[in-house]
Amino acid sequence: MVKAATWLSITPEPERDLPRAVATLACGAAPPAAAVAAETERVEGLILRGSERAWLAYLHAVVKLIDRRARDPDGDVQRARACATAVISNHHNLLLGLRGRGA
């Protein structure tokens, strides 16, 4: 039986844009290259070897990070919040079109 993985085909923005945004939010400022690389590996690992449940848990953790940095005055952090918010909002809207409980 083939496991359904429609969540993998939604859009490339999370894989492309979230690593830098999440690393920035986690660091509270522009992140070092190593932090972005580590987050990129994390996202790639979820996409290549993870499950839909693990992916949605990751996105939920990103939403919490966005909320935690709501009042951070750093410009890089605010841009990262805006980027991550837009990516997750778009991803959520696309999940609504999939069968199952993803959204």
- Mean pLDDT confidence for 70-83: 98
State the total domains in the chain: 1
- For 36, the domain range is 13-95
Q: Which residues of 45-77 are buried (b: 16+ CB within 10 A; e: fewer)?
A: ebbeebebeebbebbeebeebbeebeebeeebb
Q: Confirm if 87 and 10 have CB atoms less than 8 A apart.
A: no
The answer to whether position 4 is within a domain reads no
Q: Confirm if 47 and 8 have CB atoms less than 8 A apart.
A: yes
The answer to whether position 2 is within a domain reads no
The pLDDT score that the predictor gives to residue 30 is 97
Task: Show the CA angle centred on residue 63, arms to residues 69 and 23, nearest 5°.
Answer: 60
The answer to whether position 1 is within a domain reads no
pLDDT in tens, 42-73: 999 998 888 888 988 999 999 999 999 999 99
- Mean pLDDT confidence for 10-35: 92
The pTM score is 0.83
Percent of the chain scored above 90 by pLDDT?
Answer: 60
- Mean pLDDT confidence for 4-23: 79
